[in-house]
Chains A and B, each alone.
Chain A
Amino acid sequence: MSDVYIAGIDMIKFGRYPDRSVPSLGAEAALLALDDAGMKIQDMEALYCGNLMQAAAMVGQRILQEIGMTGIPVTNSANACATGATALRGAWTAIKAGVHDVVLVVGVEQLGRAGLLGGGGGGGGIPTEGLLGSGLMPAVFAEAGMEHTRKYGTSFAQFAKVAVKNHQHSTKNPKAMYQKETPLEEVMGAEMISYPNTKLMCSVNVDGAAAAVLVSERKARQLGMRRCVKIAASVLTTDPYTPRDLVMPDVNTCTRLAAKQAYEQAGIGPDDVNLVELHDCFATAEILHYENLGLCGDGEAGKLIDEGDVWHGGRVPVNVSGGLLSKGHPLGATGVANVYEVATHLRGEAGARQVEGAKVGLTHVIGLGSCCGIHVLEKVS
């Protein structure tokens, strides 16, 4: 099977574009990625499009209406917050299988000020939110974090430091929604949304789009490989049954399963990874994934954030883009945008936030309900 390479990739600045449409945001990112690859829409053999909120509305086709209706197959995918990674993996699979040599991927979302996500309850009767606990995302991920507190004594301050780090990182990313430092006192003193997650520890609802051109090895060689980045692993898992999972979503087991498969597929271990973009939908979640991805041993995540390993310049920088907490979390775009971030570092083009000498990077997303997508990227030497 052919190896798969990224020949072009880009994203629009995440923000709020109330006067734009979902297809127009996706189209803008697609054109940027085509330009980055030095290709035209006529070179694309298929489009894999990820969008969650308009999952039934043929977003991929509507993007082609804005960039060129060439008759290629379009696959629209939705997989909660792993939607973008799922689209990317669809393209990867098609190239692996030898069906296509050049595939366009677009992840796009228009969330605006969507407010709290989740909650609700299943039809009929009276609403159960606030009566039978909470199904709101800040609470769900707070409870997941409290499991870590229960096991290892992880503190509110340690969770808050994740937000301090990611907001600080974003000051060097011109494509992030925010570029504002938030000291620890400010993070901990911000409005409490769902203990222990304050407002500055919750990801930002934004509009955004990211796109990539994926190519086969044969095509990459034709292009001269120059700015290509190899996709060394593409993995998607769902949550295997664990006893509390259906009441308290388990984002750990599906991540551990995906990480194991990704490291095997790439033929590397966690120690070989130079930077990670992981799913910090809430500050509490990031702490869990240090261990889930093997960046440290179980129970050591608190120490990892305390000692600076995951900061820019540390042993394994995490979310140097600013992460979902500061760059923003446009659901369907997230799993392509994090690949853009890592690829940009591997190409040595990340400017002020460049992780020097980066050769291998990992991206991770969680879709609650649940699934986990991981991509391992390698610099082409």
Chain B
Amino acid sequence: MAEKAAAASGPRPVVPYLKIPGVGDPYLEGQQCGKCQAILLKQAGVCPSCGARGSLSAKRLSNRGELYVYSIVYRSFPGIQTPYVSAIVDLEGGGTVKGNLIGIEPDPEKIKMGMPIEVVYEKAPQRDAEGNEYLTYYFQPRS
């Protein structure tokens, strides 16, 4: 109970597929179809890949993966700090996730598609209108 209360008062997950357990480290959770093995980042009653009903169940996703593709974003909405690297990462064991790639210069000469990546969790720099804090994830190069 004490841990649950602590989690409830801590930062909230930035997206529903980021899980913050009462005990242990945060992680990303997908939904995997038992029929076709497709992995989604959201709950669904029906699998969008094969149409099976009630076939999806939670699957803890790996914190390791590789950079599939990226773009370096220089022009964004007002108030958003640029540049940032928008990255698509394929996780080990399945699942594809989009996020910011940090810990590397935003330079096409430095960023290599296929490079090993790890998922790290940090408090987001911004709060919501009520002042609530959020836990987010980033990708960073893994040696």
Contacts and interface: CB of A to CB of B under 8 A. Distances in A.
A241 B33 CA distance: 13
A195 B71 CA distance: 5
Interface in A113-162: 116, 119, 125-134, 136, 138-139, 142-143, 146-147, 149-150, 156
Contacts of B81: 130
B73 A194 contact: yes
Contact of B73 (A125, A127, A128, A134): A134
Interface stretch (A60-68, A100-108, A244-252): A244-252
Residue of B38, B50, B69, B136 most packed against chain A (CB within 10 A): B69
A116 to B, nearest CB: 7
B100 interface: yes
Interface string A165-183: 0000000000000000000
Q: Which of B76, B81, B126 has the most CB of A within 10 A?
A: B76
Contacts of A139: 71, 73, 86
A191 B82 CA distance: 13
B88 A244 contact: yes
Given A126-B14, A134-B84, A150 B69 contact: yes
Given A116-B76, A133-B98, A195-B108, A146 B128 contact: no
A138 B77 CA distance: 12
A196 B39 CA distance: 29
A131 B71 contact: no
A193 interface: yes
Given A130-B100, A131-B100, A248 B75 contact: no
A243 interface: yes
A125 B134 contact: yes
Contacts of A125: 12, 14-15, 128, 134
Interface in A221-249: 241, 243-244, 246-248
Given A128-B15, A132-B14, A146 B73 contact: no
B86 A126 contact: no
A134 B74 contact: no
Contacts of A194: 71-75, 86
Contact of A116 (B72, B77, B84, B137): B77
B48 interface: yes
A57 interface: no
A146 B90 CA distance: 15
Contact of A243 (B38, B87, B98, B137): B38
A192 interface: yes
Given A125-B128, A246-B48, A132 B136 contact: yes
Interface residues of B, number: 43
Contacts of B98: 132-133, 247-248
Contacts of B41: 246-247
A36 B2 CA distance: 76
B27 interface: no
A116 B84 CA distance: 16
Nearest to B129: A126
Contacts of B113: 146, 149-150
A300 B86 CA distance: 27
Contact of A241 (B48, B88, B126): B48
A244 B68 contact: yes
A146 B96 contact: no
A132 B99 contact: yes
Nearest to B100: A133
Contacts of B49: 241
B75 A131 contact: no
A376 B31 CA distance: 40
16 contacts: A119-B77, A125-B12, A126-B134, A130-B84, A131-B126, A132-B14, A132-B99, A133-B86, A133-B88, A136-B76, A150-B68, A191-B74, A193-B73, A243-B39, A244-B96, A248-B96
Instruction: Pick the 9 closest A-B CB pairs, nearest first.
Output: A133-B86, A142-B71, A134-B86, A130-B80, A195-B72, A146-B69, A133-B98, A241-B49, A150-B113
Interface of B: 12, 14-15, 38-41, 48-50, 68-77, 80-82, 84, 86-88, 90, 96-100, 108, 113-114, 124, 126-128, 134, 136-137
Given A138-B73, A191-B75, A241-B50, 18 more contacts: A125-B128, A126-B124, A126-B127, A130-B100, A131-B14, A133-B86, A133-B99, A134-B71, A139-B86, A150-B69, A192-B75, A196-B108, A241-B38, A241-B48, A243-B39, A244-B96, A248-B68, A248-B98
